[in-house]
Amino acid sequence: MLPVLENLALDLTDNGILVITLNRPSKLNALNAATIDEIGRAVQTALDNPQVRGLILTGAGDKAFVAGADIAELAALDELQARRAAERGQEVFCMIEESTKPVIAAVNGFALGGGCELAMACHFRVASDNARFGQPEVNLGLIPGYGGTQRLTQLIGKGKALELMMTADIIKADEALRLGLVNHVVPQAELLGFCQQLLGRILTKAPLAVGLVIDSVNAYFDKERHGYQTEANAFARCFASDDFREGTQAFLEKRPAAFTGK
């Protein structure tokens, strides 16, 4: 059973896609501490629920995915509270990044500050043609605190990431696509349907293998892990799985595979 949350709307489709909608449209879905905690709760629920096979994160309304952090809440923090807030945000966003179930960000408008960081924590991003991206924290005397300095650099490279974070420039969807920050740009009316279709294609594949792809790619960026060894271990693990046996048998028999994730 899905939890009832104040700042999020949860919808589980018939094919196992959990759509998580940040639902603070009057605040342009800005992130506060309560919303970040609810995102963590929703993602953990999805990971624990075998009926959930993949996730889509989006924002309510047609203006914003997440327009940033709740500035009034941030302004009241002292140094220690700010560090704890950053660590909590990083914890939740890492939970998304490390999810073995695929997560797509359907970016339906402004994705600024913490919103851009949330989108980058997802495995990939699809943007509406009116989407805007940026890390404008230096305008407030801040830097990104939820992993933005790390993930933006991973996605678009050091030089351009530094430029965007130091100038606070906001870029349009087509520029985000050119830089590799997003995977696709579609008309806003088609955004959610496109993401559901794309995720539906992934869900026809072996769930265990999909999760191991995510883990192996993440290992490349983890200084405490050896990416090639992680890949070799995951490759070997596939050979002990029911999915491998089913996938190879289905290929030989020229029929669709019926994967179980085991």
pTM for the complete prediction?
A: 0.96
Reported in sequence order, the residue ranges of 147-190 that DSSP labels E, i.e. its strands, are 170-172, 184-186
Is 38 an annotated catalytic residue?
no
Catalytic, out of 97, 137, 175, 231? 137
Q: Is the distance from CB of 42 to CB of 92 less than 8 angstroms?
A: no
Write the class of the CATH domain 8-202.
Answer: alpha beta
Catalytic, out of 38, 91, 117, 231? 117
pLDDT at residue 221 in the model: 93
Q: What angle do CA 161, 224, 114 make, to 5 degrees?
A: 35
pLDDT at residue 3 in the model: 87
Is 87 an annotated catalytic residue?
no
pLDDT at residue 131 in the model: 98
pLDDT at residue 1 in the model: 76
pLDDT at residue 7 in the model: 96
The domain ranges of the chain are 8-202, 207-252
Tens-digit pLDDT profile for residues 212-230: 999 999 999 998 999 999 9
Closest CA to 114 of 194, 24, 45: 24
Q: How far is CA 1 from CA 50, 95, 154, 256, in A?
A: 11, 20, 36, 31
pLDDT at residue 2 in the model: 86
pLDDT at residue 218 in the model: 97
Q: Is the distance from CB of 164 to CB of 134 less than 8 angstroms?
A: yes
Q: Which residues of the chain have pLDDT under 50?
A: none
